[in-house]
Amino acid sequence: KIYKIVLFDCVAEDLEIQIAMIFDQQSILEYLSLYEILINASYYLHFYEKQILFLNEICLKTIGVAVRNADISCFLPLLVHGQFLQNIPSMLGSIPFQRILSERKNKFENAIVVSAGPSLTKQLPLLKAYQDKAVVFCADGALSMLEKEGVVPDYVTNLDCRDLAMKFFQNKGKLKQSIIAL
C-alpha cells in the first residue's frame, strides 16, 4: 500500500482548485466523511489561527461540493448509520416497540396508505370521513396536505435520509400520537 502526504501552498491563488482536485479523486472521496484538521501543537494555533481556520473552511466547503457532485450511493450507508445513531436517544425515550405492537394490535381491520399525488386532493374529504375506521399510513410528502384537511395519520414514513426531508416534521404538534418511521 502506498501512503501519500499532500502539501499545499496556503497562499497560492489556486488553492481551492488544488484541494478540489485532491478531494475529487475516488480514492480520497470515500474517506471525506472522516476529515478533521489536526493541530499538533498550540504554538501553531496561537500564531496561525486565522490561516488554519481559513484552510479548514476551504476544505469543508470543497468536501461539501465533492460529496454533492459524487454518486451518493457510496455514502448512503454512512448517512443511514449516522442518522440511526442520531435517532437513538429519541428512540430510547419513546414508546418501546413491543408496547406499540400490543397497543395497536387488532385495532383496525383496514389500512389506508396515502402518498402525495394529483389525485390526493379530491380524495381528502373521503379520507377525513374514514380516518377513524382504518389505520392511516402516510408518506412524508403528503403530510402537509393531510394536516390542512385535519387528517392525522397513525404512521408517517420517510425514506429520504437527508436533513431537508426532516422539514416535513417541524412544528407538528398534532403528530404526538403518530409514529414516524424514518
What's the whole-number mean pLDDT along residues 6-23?
A: 89
pTM for the structure as a whole: 0.47
127/171 same-domain check: yes
152/177 same-domain check: yes
9 within domain boundaries: no
131 within domain boundaries: yes
Neighbours of 10 (CB within 10 A): 12
107/41 same-domain check: no
Q: Is 121 helix (H, G, I), strand (E, B) or coil?
A: helix
4 within domain boundaries: no
151/62 same-domain check: no
Q: Please give the Cα distance from 124 to 61 (Å, whole number).
A: 44
In the sheet with 111-114, reading across from the earlier edge strand, the strands are: 111-114, 135-139, 155-157, 179-181
102 within domain boundaries: yes
108/164 same-domain check: yes
Task: State pLDDT tens for residues 138-170.
Answer: 888 888 889 888 898 888 887 765 666 666 666
65/86 same-domain check: no
Q: Which runs of E-coded beta strand occur in the chain?
A: 111-114, 135-139, 155-157, 179-181
153 within domain boundaries: yes
Q: Residue 179 is which amino acid?
A: I
Instruction: Say what the pLDDT of residue 17 is.
Output: 92
User: What is the residue range of 108's domain?
Assistant: 76-181
99/152 same-domain check: yes
107 within domain boundaries: yes
Number of domains in the chain: 2
What are the φ and ψ backbone dihedral angles of 136, each rounded to 5 degrees?
-110, 120
6 within domain boundaries: no
7 within domain boundaries: no
Q: Please give the Cα distance from 129 to 45 (Å, whole number).
A: 65
What's the whole-number mean pLDDT along residues 84-102?
A: 73
116/156 same-domain check: yes
Task: State pLDDT tens for residues 39-71.
Answer: 888 888 888 899 999 999 999 999 888 877 776
